[in-house]
Amino acid sequence: MNNKKSPNRAPLVLPGGALDFSRPLVMSIVNCTNDSFYKESRTPGGEAACGRALEAAEAGADIIDFGAESSRPGAAYVDEETELARLIPAVKRFRKYSSLPVSVDTRKVNTARIALDEGADIINDISCNPALAVLAAKTGAALVVMHMKGEPKTMQEDPVYDDPVAEVQSFLKAAVQRALDSGVPPQKIILDPGIGFGKKTADNIALLRGLDEIRFGDYPLLVGLSRKSFIGDITGRPVSERLAGTLAAGAVALASGADILRVHDSAETADLIKIWRACAA
């Protein structure tokens, strides 16, 4: 694990604004659901979700990530009609007040298409759905490709790895190649190792320690570890008391070269990045 940033990446220009990777960025989670694993993050309804997003923007978020289908371990599939009813009012309302880049956390092509029509900029796809790569290529949206073993409903049922770092990197390389073959420009692809998605605590620790090995090419690296169960396993804390553990894990991720931290707590993460940059300079 190193303690210096990788060479600066070129900014990613989006309709909602440029992502400048000369410093780590904060992606703020806005859950338009009533069943996300962190109760305090639940903001069903367009007005409530928009309000949470605007608060995050004020607190220092660089990207707002709206999601309307929980991907917590054991979560059931949400049908498209329900997902759209939750997600689109939030995106539309937020776009009236802010030009901050918007990401949509979805596995469904039609949901992503409508969200992009309403002003979203990034498809955050936990499933690496090839059709979403095609959509990103056609629309000019950026695309997050993420590793997940299984699907949310069953992913924590005893996942097994021989070498989690090597397996995740191999998966991401193949996913990136599929996206490139679909026409997504390389400068619009973001990697996510999928912390907590079909991984045991030891796997998550190995991935955090090996982020600099997982990264390849010049692709930005997104890490989502906010208040996840492995932090609870290590600290013995419930979800509501995992902020300190999340910030500590975030510092480890930054030291290994993470470019984006996906979090519930925007202000605290923005402060973490400021301190880390001052000390790592």
CA-to-CA dists, residue 46 to 85, 92, 128, 274, angstroms: 9, 8, 27, 31
List the catalytic residue out of 72, 86, 149, 262: 262
Q: Could you give the residue ranges of the DSSP H alpha helices within the chain?
A: 46-59, 80-97, 109-117, 130-139, 164-182, 201-209, 211-214, 229-235, 243-255, 266-280
CB-based contact 63:81 (threshold 8 Å):
no
188 labelled catalytic: no
Pair type for strands 25-31 and 260-263: parallel
Separation between Cα atoms, residue 34 and residue 37, nearest integer Å: 9
262 labelled catalytic: yes
Q: Could you give the residue ranges of the DSSP H alpha helices within 30-186?
A: 46-59, 80-97, 109-117, 130-139, 164-182
| 86, two tokens | 């939750």
List the catalytic residue out of 108, 188, 228, 242: 228
Separation between Cα atoms, residue 67 and residue 36, nearest integer Å: 10
DSSP bridge partners of 209: none
Separation between Cα atoms, residue 139 and residue 266, nearest integer Å: 29
User: CB-based contacts of 99: which residues, under 8 Å, 6+ apart?
Assistant: 16, 17
Active site residues: 228, 262
